[in-house]
Structure 1
Amino acid sequence: MSLLLTRLFLSLVLKPRPAAKERGDVPGWVLITVMTAGLVVAIWTLAQDQLKAMLERALDSVTNK
């Protein structure tokens, strides 16, 4: 009986868990995050004056009413 319990216990303990197999796509998410940050910096650098003017116009139209 103890041999049966030992084998059952070992099969449960040594059985690979589904979470261990699926680690996710962490490098993919890191790449997406870095690329998004790079795009934001590039767009902000190229269009800083236009974005600032657009924001000022939008805020003026709201506060002047």
Structure 2
Amino acid sequence: MRAWAWLMTLTAVLAARLRSSDPERGDVPGWVMITVMTAALVLAILIPFREAIVAAVTNALASVTNG
């Protein structure tokens, strides 16, 4: 029964937090743009240097497992 009470309290706290007009909460479109731009940068780095990255990771894992 304690777990149920704890869950209800947590739900109430989260609901109150979502309803508040906190200026520190941020905006969703900004975070979506940051996420998309980060994914684009990862792809921009990964595509031309894929073989070098795979070789470096394979070499590092081999040196750790054999070392």
Range into which the TM-score falls when normalised by the shorter chain: 0.5 to 0.7
- In the other structure, the counterpart of 2:48 is 46
The TM-score normalised by the length of structure 2 is: 0.61
Q: Tell me which residue corresponds to 1:63.
A: 65
CA distance in 2, matches of 1:33, 1:42: 14
**Structure 1 residue 40: Cα displacement:** 0.7
Percent identity of the aligned residues?
Answer: 54
> What stretches of structure 1 move > 4 A for 4+ residues in a row?
none
Name the TM-score, length of structure 1 as normaliser: 0.62
For residues 42 and 64 of structure 1, what CA distance do their matches in structure 2 show? 32
The CA RMSD over aligned residues, in Å, is: 2.1
Which residue, out of 22, 26, 29, partners 2:28? 26
Shift of 1:59: 0.7
**Count of aligned positions:** 48
User: In the aligned structure 2, how far is the partner of 1:57 from the partner of 1:18?
Assistant: 51
Q: Which runs of 5+ in 2 are unaligned?
A: 1-18
